[in-house]
Amino acid sequence: MIDQTRALKRCSKCKIEKPLLDAFYNSNHTKDGKQSWCKECSSKGKENTSKDASVVREYKRQYYQQNKEKIAAQQQAYYQQHKQELIERNRAYYAAHREEICQKAKDKRALAKGDVPLRSKAGK
């Protein structure tokens, strides 16, 4: 067994050896029970991920705009290949959520008329 109070581990991100006990988060997926990135690199990675989310969102939007026809064709092909499965799944969902669906439809019609929609018992 490793004496974790004195053991050092090299961070796979910054390549610096740091104390195993204090500098690494716990992990059930590794032999030593610690993550491969140190706490400092892990938090930097989380910051970058949140900043990159807007970049990824913009990339996906642009990709969709440039490939609308291709995406529509893929979706249509998938639908044709799995038509019966999708119909059965939709029927099962409708059967399980019929009251919610009907209430939303009533609210939508009332809103279109200019009336205040009625709220369901669940308060949604």
The predicted-structure confidence for 27-41, as pLDDT tens digits, reads as follows: 999 888 899 999 999
Q: Are 89 and 97 in contact (CB under 8 A)?
A: no
Assess contact for 27 and 34: CB atoms under 8 A.
Answer: yes
For the purposes of burial, counting CB atoms within 10 Å of the CB of 24, is it exposed (0-12), middle (13-18) or buried (19 or more)?
buried
CB-side neighbour CA atoms (13 Å) of 51:
6
Whole-angstrom distance, CA of residue 122 vs CA of residue 106 = 15
Q: Tens digits of per-residue pLDDT, 13-64? A: 999 999 988 899 999 998 888 999 999 998 887 777 767 788 888 999 999 9
CB atoms within 10 A of CB 42: 15
Compute the average pLDDT of residues 66-88.
97
Ordered by start, the domain boundaries in the chain are 1-65, 67-112
Which residue bears the tokens 């969902």? Answer: 93
